[in-house]
Structure 1
Amino acid sequence: MPAEIRLLSYNVRSLRDDAGALARVIRAGAPDVVCVQEAPRFVGWRRRAARLGRATGLGYVSGGAPSCGTMIMSALGPVVEYAGSVTLPHTPGTHRRGLALAVLRFGTGARLAVVSCHLSLRAAERYRQAELLLERLDRLTAPRGGRGRIPGVVAGDLNDRPHGGAFRMLAGRLTDAWRQAPEGGEFTFPSAAPDRRIDAVLGTSGVEVLGCGVPEGLPGIGPEDVRRATDHLPLLARLRLPDPPRP
């Protein structure tokens, strides 16, 4: 039976806002995997990430300081087959960016390669980072041990709108989950009065999108919680993974 998972992408603004509201929003989304942007990355980052994990029932997988603030967390079910971090080239005077990477195996045996990203505010740098992201995703999903290519997903804050060069390049190579199966709201920023879509979940072939969007009507969550949690809205994707190949 194919695995169905819930993947949440969320820019948490370095946990500078209402940590209680943030934890409530994440828990209400009931995610199997969370791709975090602007995760703790400076002194004490492990302690702060662990605190977020305890508040949400999630475990740390990869990222944080080693990937310049991108992070992957997961529920207790998936097995981590691989976890890594990559830093990207940057322009002096800009924030250094990085990718959090993981390959997860779910209870059915289905596997998923995951990349959490947060791209540059500068268009030229952002475009080059998107190219490097695709190269890294291709390596992460490469066949291993005689098995076929692993399905993969990229999730994060692209700092670009759908008509922008980096967003269009990524959506040209991958499936834009919201465009494929819109479910919930489109705009992800700013949380107080959202008017643009700069966060995205994008999948490779083999990942079936059942629905994707800013979740509406999360149990026990009101508009105030979402506004107070951080300056982005959460983006939730429901995905179906193919059956693993038989040995």
Structure 2
Amino acid sequence: MTQPTETRSSHVLRVASYNLRIFKDDRAAITRVIRAIDADVLLLQEVPRHPLSGHRLAGFADELGLTWFGGARGRMSTTLMTSLRVDLLEAHHATLPVRIFDEPRGYAMATVRLPGHESLVVASVHLPLRSSERLPHVRAIRAAATAAGRPAVVGGDLNEEPGDAAWTELSDGLAQVSESVPTYPAKAPHKQIDAIFASPLITGRTPGLDLVDADVATASDHRPVVVDLDLSALATD
């Protein structure tokens, strides 16, 4: 199994965001890529969403050595998983309004704590294809993520590029901490539509990972986004 090339500090929380295209591509390659990333918090989009798919996600989490909190998702395909390195304090899914017959949309949100640090909120998002819906969705997600007054991390598939309305709105109060590189399509990326944002107290850097290019190209139509977040400002010890 491919391993990360860097040793992680006790102040670092590794967050990754990945659109899996409902396992339509190379399922084994997806597993290899995610294992190599070795995330503490894995923000997922386009996972199986039919009512009986929970056992598939639970099994997938077990295969990865991660924890999936389950719960009702309202047929949407967004969720998140966590590693045993963090404490999962609370987690839930929430749906957002879309037009009838459109794909269900929403977000997965959790309060997590890296031992020795204050807790923070993390959210996985997958914004709609309709541009008119993206701005109200991102406003609702940002409001929910910051409602408790904790630092927040929001990441996912925004279905738009930097400078567009929802991206700009999300950047108001949160800063992009992931690398500014194209993420779509995976085989020849030329659009950046996936990113991770965080509250000002939190800074991020891209870790050096030994990902296999062939796996990244065949695992999904998106490339994963990975960032090591420095939580030194949240340290309690």
Q: TM-score, normalised by structure 1?
A: 0.85
Alpha-carbon distance between aligned partners in 2 of 1:135 and 1:65, rounded to the nearest angstrom: 19
Match of 1:200 in 2: 195
Task: Report if aligned partners of 2:74, 2:104 keep a CA contact under 8 Å in 1.
Answer: no
Q: 1:81 aligns with which of 70, 77, 89?
A: 89
List gaps (5 residues or longer) in structure 1: 143-148
Task: Report if aligned partners of 1:41, 1:64 keep a CA contact under 8 Å in 2.
Answer: no
Which residue identity is paired with 1:199? D
Which residue identity is paired with 1:6? R
In structure 2, the residue corresponding to 1:54 is in which secondary structure? helix
Per-residue deviation, 1:222: 2.2
Task: Report if aligned partners of 1:64, 1:71 keep a CA contact under 8 Å in 2.
Answer: no
Give the superposed CA RMSD.
Answer: 2.0
CA separation of 1:62 and 1:207: change in aligned 2, threshold 3 A: farther
Alpha-carbon distance between aligned partners in 1 of 2:236 and 2:213, rounded to the nearest angstrom: 43
Alpha-carbon distance between aligned partners in 1 of 2:125 and 2:79, rounded to the nearest angstrom: 8
Alpha-carbon distance between aligned partners in 2 of 1:158 and 1:192, rounded to the nearest angstrom: 19
CA separation of 1:245 and 1:107: change in aligned 2, threshold 3 A: closer
In structure 2, the residue corresponding to 1:25 is in which secondary structure? helix
Task: Report if aligned partners of 2:88, 2:113 keep a CA contact under 8 Å in 1.
Answer: yes
Give me the identity figure in percent. 32
Alpha-carbon distance between aligned partners in 1 of 2:64 and 2:47, rounded to the nearest angstrom: 14
Alpha-carbon distance between aligned partners in 1 of 2:47 and 2:70, rounded to the nearest angstrom: 11
Match of 1:175 in 2: 175
Q: 2:125 aligns with which of 117, 120, 127?
A: 117
Deviations 1:69-113 (A, max 9, x none): 111101112111111111001122321101101001112133220
Per-residue deviation, 1:2: 6.7
Q: 1:217-228 counterparts in 2 under 5 A?
A: 218-219=209-210, 221-228=211-218
Deviations 1:38-92 (A, max 9, x none): 1121143111112211221111035673471111101112111111111001122
Q: TM-score, normalised by structure 2?
A: 0.89
- Deviating above 4 A after TM superposition, structure 1's stretches of 4 or more consecutive aligned residues are none
Match of 1:54 in 2: 62
Greater Cα offset, 185-194 or 227-236: 185-194
In structure 2, the residue corresponding to 1:101 is in which secondary structure? strand
Alpha-carbon distance between aligned partners in 2 of 1:162 and 1:187, rounded to the nearest angstrom: 11
Match of 1:93 in 2: 101
CA separation of 1:120 and 1:28: change in aligned 2, threshold 3 A: same
How many residues matched? Answer: 228
Which residue identity is paired with 1:91? R
Q: 1:7-156 counterparts in 2 under 5 A?
A: 7-61=15-69, 65-66=73-74, 68-139=76-147, 142=148, 149-156=149-156
Match of 1:235 in 2: 225
Task: Report if aligned partners of 1:86, 1:100 keep a CA contact under 8 Å in 2.
Answer: yes
